[in-house]
A and B are shown apart, each in its own frame.
Chain A
Amino acid sequence: MRIRSTVASIVLMLLVFAVPLLTSFALGEEPDPLRFNRDVRPILSDNCFGCHGPAAKDAKAGLQLHSFESATALLGKGEDRQALVPGDRKASELWKRITSSDPDEKMPPPDSNHRLTPGQIEVLGQWIDQGAEYEGHWAFQALKAAQGASIDSLIRARLDGTGLRSAPPADRATLLRRITQDLTGLPPTPEELDAFLVDHNPDAYERVVNRLLRSPAAAERLAVDWLDGARYADTNGYSIDDHRDMWIWRDWVLNAFLTNKRFDEFTVEQIAGDLLPGATEQQRVATGFLRNSMNTHEGGTIPEEYRVTYNVDKVDTVATVFMGLTMKCAQCHDHKYDPITQKEFYQFYAFFNQSSEPGSGATNANTGPLIEAGSAICSPERVKRDAAVRIAELKRLRAVPLARIAVQRDRWETEQLASLGLLKNGRAVAKKLVLFPQDQPSWIWSAADRTAESVEFERRFNLEAIPAEARLWVTCDNACEVEINGRSIGSSDDWTRPKVFEVRGLKVGDNTIAVRATNIGASPAGLLLSLAMRAANGEEWHVVTDKKWQARLLVAGAAGTNWEPAAELVKHGGGAWGTLYGKEPLDAGPDALHQALGMAKADRTTEHWATINTAFAEMQPAFKTLTNQLDLEEKILRKAADTGRTTVMVMDYKPRKTHILTRGAYDQPGAEVSAGTPSTLPPLGVAGTPNGKRTRLDLAHWLVDPDHPLTSRVIVNRYWQMLFGTGLVKTAEDFGTQGEFPSHPELLDRLAADFVASGWDLRRLLHQMVMSETYCQQSAATPELLEKDPYNRLLARAPRFRLAAEFVRDGALAASGLLNDDLGGPSVHPYQPDGLWEEVSHYGYPKPFSSQKFLPGSGRVLYRRSLYTVWKRTSPPPSMAIFDAPSRETCSVRRLNTNTPLQALVMQNDPQFLEAARALGDLMAAEGSPQNGIDLGAKRVLGRAPTTKELDVLSAALVRYRQAYQSQAEKARQLLASAGASGSGDPVQVAWTLVASTLLNMDEAMTRQ
C-alpha cells in the first residue's frame, strides 16, 4: 500500500486493479475447480522443486514433491508423517510447514528467495483438501484435440463469464495493413489498399491472404524468425569472429517457405538431411541448421573443450526450437524442474557428437565438414553478379576509403601537391596539372663541342590549331633562357629539377622554340625540355629535346658556328625526368602518380585512384591495413564470383563414443552412453543405420512423430506468437514445468493436432489463424479492457505491438519506394556507422582476419530487405540491435519488445531512414498538391488515408518548413545531402522530406495494429 501512495499514474492504477485479475486465469465470478497443472504446479515448481523436485540427488531431507507417490510417502524410516495427506490439509506436513511461523520450520525457508503469498497457500490447502491429485506435466501429455472447435469458439469460451467480449471487426484498411505486415513484414501498397477497399466480394480478404501467403515476401518474413532460432549469422562468433558463408543454408530456408515445404520434412532435412537415403545436395545443405553453432580458433583454445561446447549448443538449439525444452540445464546435473536426467542429456548429445566437426574452427572460412553448393533460389549467374557487385564495392573503397582514412589521404595529397609547388592559397591548382610531359626527352647539347660554354638551340614545329593549354618543363646544366616565337618565356638556373612555364603566343602554322643555354667551364653540359600542348578536344602533342633539334655554338662577342643537329647525351645526369629526379616522388614529373594527383577527383579513373592509393599506402600504415583487408575480402569472394557457388557447413556421420561428462566438464568423462531420447517422451523408433546404431535421422523422425507431444505444440505456438505478439504459451522457449501454462490449452492442442493431420502444412496453419474473427477484430483498447486484461491474454481485442527490427526498416524502405526486392543471395552491407567493427575486432592484426572492419556497400544493395544484412555476432547491426534483434550467438525464439529513446534516434537520424524520408517526400511532392501528397504518404506509411487532424498538422508543417528553408539554401542543401540527394537545396523538397520523416516516425508507422 505504501507503493500505491507513491503513484499517480493512470497506467499504474490500472495495474493495481489488474492484480486480482491476474492471480489466475479464473476470471469468472465462480472460480473453476483447481487444476494441478494450471494452478498448483507453478507454485510448487517455483518455490519447492529447487530442493524437493525431480533431481533425486538434490532432494533435501529426501523429500520430493514432484509426484504423488513421492509426496505421499512416509518421511523417512520410523516416521508416520507425510508431506501430503490427500483430503486433509491439517494432517499434511507440507501444510504445517508453509503455514508455520517458526523460522526453523517454515517453508520455503525465510532465507531463501521464495515466499508464498496467502493466496498461494490457500490454493495448496484447497488442492490437498480436494485430494491432492497430480497431473502429468501438460506439455508431455498427448494432444487432446477438441473436435469441431474453432479458434473463435475456444477464444470466446474463455471470455465467457469475464464480462469481456470479442471486439468488432477492424476496419478494412487496418485489416489489410495488419495482414500484410504480419505475413510479409511489409506494408500494403496504395494500389493494394485501393483495390481492397472497393472489393466487396465476400472472399476479398481470403484472396488477399492467399496472395500474401504465396508471395516471396512472406518467405522472407517467415525466415526471419527461423534465423533467430537457428542462430544464423555471417561470422563465426567468439573472439575473432571472422566470416563464414551460411547464406546457402539461408536460401534453403527461404526456398522451403516459398514452396510451403511440409514442416515435418523441413525438420527432418535440417536435423538429418545428410542421412536420408540418396541425400541430395540441398538436403545436405539443410543440415547447416545444426552447423550455425559459433566456433572459435582463438590462440590457446583447447579444441576438445570447444567441440563439446558446439555440440551442447546443438542440443540447446534443437531442444528449444522443436521441443521448447531447456535441456542444456541438464549438462552438469539432473534437470532441477523437468524430468531430464544428466544421462539423458548426454544420450541426446550423442546424436550430435557423431560427426567429424573439429573443436578448432577454420580461419576466415567455413569449418569442415562442408560441401560446395549452389543456392536453392538464386541462379549461379545471379550469385556471380552479386559477388562481382561486392568486389566492385571493395574496389571502390580502395578508391574512396571511409571518412577517417579519406581525411588522412586528402592531407597527404595536399602535402604532395605543396611539395610540387602546385598549391595556391591552400587549393590544388588542379586544372594546371592536367598536362604533363608524357614523352621521355633526351638531354641534348651541341654535337660540335660537348663542353662548349654556350649553345643556342632551335626547333620548329607546325600546329594545326592553337592549343587550349600548353606548358613547358625545362632544366639545364647549368642555365638557360627560353623564347617562343621570339618572345621570352623565362629562364632557369636550377639544374636539379625542372622549372615549369605556362606557354602563350603559339599560333596556327609554324612556330619556333629557341633556347640559349649556358654551361660553366669544361664539365659536361645538357639541356632537357618538354613542351606539352593540349587541344580543346583533348588531343595532346609534345615537343621534347632530341636529335631533331638544331644546335650551334655561341662564341663570346660573335655569332656562332653553323646550325647542325643536336647530340643526345644518353648518360648525362643519369637519364631523363624519371631517373634523374625519381628519388623525390613529385619531381618525377612524368610519372603516373604525378598525373593522377593532378586530376580533379571527379575525373579520376580507377587507374588514377589505384596509382594514388598505392603510393599513399606505402606511406600510411592505416591505409595499408585497409588495403590488406580489402585484398583478403576480395580473395574470399573470388570463388563465388567465378563459379556462382560457395561452400556451406553441413553435418556428417562419424561414429564416436559419448560419455557423460562429470559436472559438464569436457575433460571429466564418466560412463559411456549411447544415443537416445528422454524417457518421459514417447520412445524413439529405430530406422537405424546399417549397423543398427541410432542416428540423427532417427531423432529427426522421432521429433515429427505424430505422437510427439511437444514438436507440433511448440511450432504452432510460435506462429501464434508471430501473429498475436504473445504465444498461447507465453514462454515460447520453455514448455517445461517452469514454463507458463497455456492461456488456451484446448486451442493449442486443436491447432497442433490439425497441423499434424494436415501434413504439417504451414500455410494452412497460418491461413486458419488469420481467417479467424479473433485475428480480424479491432485492436483498440478501452479502459475496461486495459483494466481487466492489460496483457491481452484473453484476446478480447486484437493485439497491437511494435514491428520487429527488420520490418521497421523494411517498412520504411517499402513506403519510400526504395526497397530492392531481390530474393536470396549473399548477405549485403547497408548503412552502418563507421568504425563499429574495428573498435572491437582484430582489425589491423598483421595476418588479417576477415570481417574485422565493416566495409559498406553502395547502390541498390543498400535497400535490400533486412534479413540480408550482414550479421556479425560480436557487433550486430546497430540499428537492429536497438530494436531488440538478438546477437545470434545462441538460439533465441522470443524477442523482447522495448520502447526506448535510442529507437527514436535511429528513426530520426539513421541515414537509412533519412534517405527513406527523402525518397518518400519526393513521391509525395510529385502528387501535385499538399493534400494529395499527404494522402499518398499516409497510405504508403500507415496504410490508410490521413485523418483531418493529420492532414492539418502536416499541411501546416509543410508550409512552415518551406518558409524556414526558403532563405537557407545551404542548410537545405546539407539536409538533402544527408538524406542522399544532391542538388541545390530546394526548400520544397526539404519540406516534403521532413513531413515524410514525421510520418515515418509515428508510433503507428512502426506498429502493427
Chain B
Amino acid sequence: MINDDTKTLLSRRAFLGQSGIGLGALATTSLLNEASAAQSGNSELPHFPAKAKRVIYLFQSGGPSHIDLLDHSPAFGRLHGSELPDSVRGGQRVTGMTAGQKKFLVCGPVSPMKQRGQFGTWMSDLVPHTADIADKITVINSMHTEAINHDPGITLINTGSQIPGRPSLGAWASYGLGSANADMPAYIVLLSQGNGKNPGQPIFSRLWGSGILPSNHQGVLMRSGKNPLLYLKDPSGLNRPIRREMLDDLAALNEGSFARFGDPEIQTRIAQYEMAFRMQTAAPEIVDLSDEPESTFKLYGEDARRPGTYAYNCLLARRLAERDVRFVQLFHRGWDQHGSLVPHLTAQCKDTDQASAALVTDLEQRGLLEDTLVIWGGEFGRTSYSQGGLGNGRDHHGRCFSIWLAGGGIKRGGVHGATDEYCYNIVKDPVHINDMNATILHCMGIDHERFTFKFQGLNTRLTGVEEAHAVKQILISKKSITEKK
C-alpha cells in the first residue's frame, strides 16, 4: 500500500520533471510539508496531451441575458408581449423576486439579432465586435445549472458545488499542473465592475479560493496601480540593491538554521524568498503597458489604458498568457439586469464587447490562441419573461444559458445545443456546468474523473459526484488537426 503522501510526491516530481522549470525554482516548493497536507489521488498529469497550455476565463458575473445576446428564437416576433405558458415554465423554481408576480410577459431580444460569419451564428447588435469573431468561437446555447440565485450559482460554476468550501477551477488547474512561469503564480485573478449595474452582485474570495487544496493554489489577485500583487512593492526608500543584500543576508542566516535543524522547509523558505524577489520584477512588467503600441488600444479600445477596467484586464490577460501564466480569470460584475434592461445591458455590453473580441483576435495574431482556451460566460441566464412590466428587466434563469469558447482545442465557429422557441428550456444537447468544467479540464489534458483530491475520506473532484462528460462535439477532432498540419 502506497501512502497517499508518497503518491503526491511522485506526481509532483513527475510534474517538475516535465514542466521544464527545473528544480532550482520549484523543486523545493514545500515538498514535504505541502505533501503531508495534500493527500492526493491524482496520478501523473496531464493524462493526455493538452490542447490548452493556458486558460483565460472571462467570467461575466451576474447572469448575462442569453436571449438578448446569443440565443435566438424567430418566434419572439410573434410571442413578444404574450403570457409565458405554464407548460413552458413547468413548475420551475423561481426566485423570491418574481415568485409573486401575476403576469409573466414574454419579452423578445431588446436589440436585433443577426446571423454572423460563415457559420451564420446568431448574435445581437449589442455585441458587434463579438459578431466579428463569430467564426473563431463556439457558442453553447444549452448550458444549464441548478442554482437560481447568485451566491450558489456563482459558487457552483466556479467550484463545482453550491456549498462553499470546494477549490475553484483555477486552483484545481494550479494544483494539477503547477506554474509554467517560475516568476509568477499559476493562477491570477483580475476584478472589474461594469457600468450596467453598479455595484454588481458581490463576489467572494472563495470563487478563486483553494478550498480543501493547499492554499498556495488559491488565485492571486492582480490589481491595478503600482502594487499589482498584494504586498509586492518594497517600501519607498528601499531600493533593489538593498533588498538584494537583505535577501543574501537572510539566506546566510537561514542556511545557518538549516545546518542546525536539517529541515528541508528552510531550503524551501529560501527558494520562496527568491521567487518573491523575481515576482517583484515580473509583476510590474506585466502591468507596465508602455511597451504596447497604439494599435493595441485601437484593438481593445481606449478603456484598455485605464487600470481597473474590463478592457485593461483583457489586455493584462493577454500579457499574462504571453508569460505562460496557467490560469487567468477575470471577474466582471454588473450583468444582473432585473430592471433597466435596455440601458444597463447596453452599457454592460459597451464595456465588454470590444475587449473580449480583441483578446481572441490578439491571441490569434500572436499565435497564442491555438493553445490558449478562452471562455466567456456567467453563472446563469435570464428569463425570457419580464420581471415587472414588459421589457423592464429579467430574472435569473438556470434552465438554459449561453457561453462562448475559443482556442485551446475548441472548434472555430458554430453553435452547440438548442433551446425551445421561448429560449426557456433546452431541446438539444444540454451541457451542465460540470460538463463544461470537465471540458475545460479536458482541454488542459486532464481527465476530470481521474483528477481527485482526498478529503474527509472522499476522492473529491471538481465535477462533483454525479456523472459529467467533456463536450467532445465542440472539440477539434484529431482528424481535423492532422488535416491542418
Contact = CB atoms under 8 A, between A and B. Distances in A.
Interface of A: 3, 6-9, 11-12, 15, 18-19, 22-24, 39, 42-43, 45, 113, 117, 119-120, 123, 237-241, 294, 296, 298-303, 309, 326, 329, 336-338, 667, 726, 731, 733-734, 736-739, 779-783, 785-786, 790-791, 800-802, 833, 835-836, 839-845, 873-876, 878-879, 881-882, 884, 887, 889-890, 896-906, 908-910, 914, 947, 949-950, 953-954, 957, 960-961, 964, 968, 970-979, 990, 994, 997-998, 1001-1004, 1007, 1009
Contacts of A836: 221
B23 interface: yes
Given A241-B202, A879-B231, A899-B265, A326 B151 contact: no
Interface stretch (B25-33, B73-81, B344-352): B25-33
Interface stretch (B209-217, B310-318, B418-426): B209-217
B234 A909 contact: yes
B457 A326 contact: yes
Nearest to A833: B230
Contact of B216 (A22, A337, A900): A900
A802 B265 contact: yes
B231 A902 contact: yes
B198 interface: yes
A994 B250 CA distance: 11
A840 to B, nearest CB: 5
Contact of A779 (B97, B150, B234, B261): B261
A970 B33 CA distance: 43
Contact of B253 (A8, A23, A800, A998): A998
B276 to A, nearest CB: 4
B95 interface: yes
A738 B227 CA distance: 44
A241 B204 contact: yes
Contact of A781 (B202, B245, B262): B262
Contacts of A961: 242
Given A791-B5, A878-B230, A994-B246, A8 B23 contact: yes
Contact of B215 (A241, A734, A843, A898): A898
B3 interface: yes
Contact of B230 (A113, A237, A902): A902
A845 B336 CA distance: 13
A113 B1 contact: no
A940 to B, nearest CB: 15
Contacts of B218: 881
Residue of B1, B164, B264, B275 ringed by the most chain A CB atoms within 10 A: B1
B2 interface: yes
B13 interface: yes
Interface centre among B203, B209, B238 (most CB of A within 10 A): B238
Contact of B96 (A302, A309, A785): A302
A9 B266 contact: no
Given A299-B96, A840-B191, A783 B199 contact: no
A898 B33 contact: yes
B257 A1004 contact: yes
Interface stretch (B34-42, B297-305, B356-364): B34-42
Contacts of B129: none
A954 B239 CA distance: 19
Given A299-B97, A844-B199, A975-B237, A113 B272 contact: no
Contacts of A239: 149-151, 201-202, 204
Nearest to A294: B164
A113 B452 contact: yes
B231 A906 contact: yes
Contacts of A240: 202
Given A241-B202, A978-B236, A896 B214 contact: yes
A6 B17 contact: yes
A22 B272 contact: no
Contact of A113 (B41, B239, B253): B41
Q: A785, A889, A1007, A1009: which has the most chain B beta carbons within 10 Å?
A: A889
Contact of B29 (A731, A884, A899): A899
Given A239-B151, A899-B265, A842 B205 contact: no
A667 B327 CA distance: 38
Contacts of A889: 164-165, 206
Nearest to B215: A884
B110 interface: no
17 contacts: A6-B13, A6-B17, A22-B6, A24-B1, A239-B202, A300-B96, A781-B261, A800-B261, A833-B231, A896-B215, A902-B229, A905-B232, A909-B231, A953-B253, A974-B235, A974-B236, A975-B236
Contact of A950 (B163, B165, B216, B256): B256
Given A875-B204, A900-B272, A902-B231, 7 more contacts: A326-B456, A897-B34, A900-B30, A900-B215, A902-B185, A950-B253, A1002-B257
A303 B95 CA distance: 10
A949 B252 contact: yes
Contacts of B93: 302, 667
B223 interface: yes
A309 B151 CA distance: 13
B279 interface: yes
A975 B235 contact: yes
Interface in B246-277: 246, 249-250, 252-254, 256-257, 260-270, 272-273, 275-276
Contact of A896 (B1, B38, B396): B38
Contacts of B268: 899
B370 interface: no
Contacts of A802: 33, 265
Contacts of A739: 457
A296 B2 contact: no
Contact of B450 (A9, A113, A950): A113
A676 to B, nearest CB: 23
Contacts of A667: 93
A1005 B87 CA distance: 67
A949 B255 CA distance: 11
A710 B328 CA distance: 44
Contacts of B28: 9, 11
B276 A905 contact: yes
A684 to B, nearest CB: 24
B181 interface: no
Contacts of A738: 456-458
A978 B231 CA distance: 12
Contacts of B459: 113
Contacts of B263: 779, 781, 800, 1009
Contacts of B256: 947, 949-950
A300 B457 contact: no
Contacts of A964: 242
B216 A898 contact: yes
Nearest to B451: A113
Contacts of B270: 1003
A949 B260 CA distance: 13
A433 B221 CA distance: 45
A17 to B, nearest CB: 11
A15 B6 contact: yes
Given A238-B151, A337-B457, A904-B276, A974 B237 contact: yes
B203 A840 contact: yes
A111 to B, nearest CB: 9
A76 B280 CA distance: 67
Contacts of B103: none
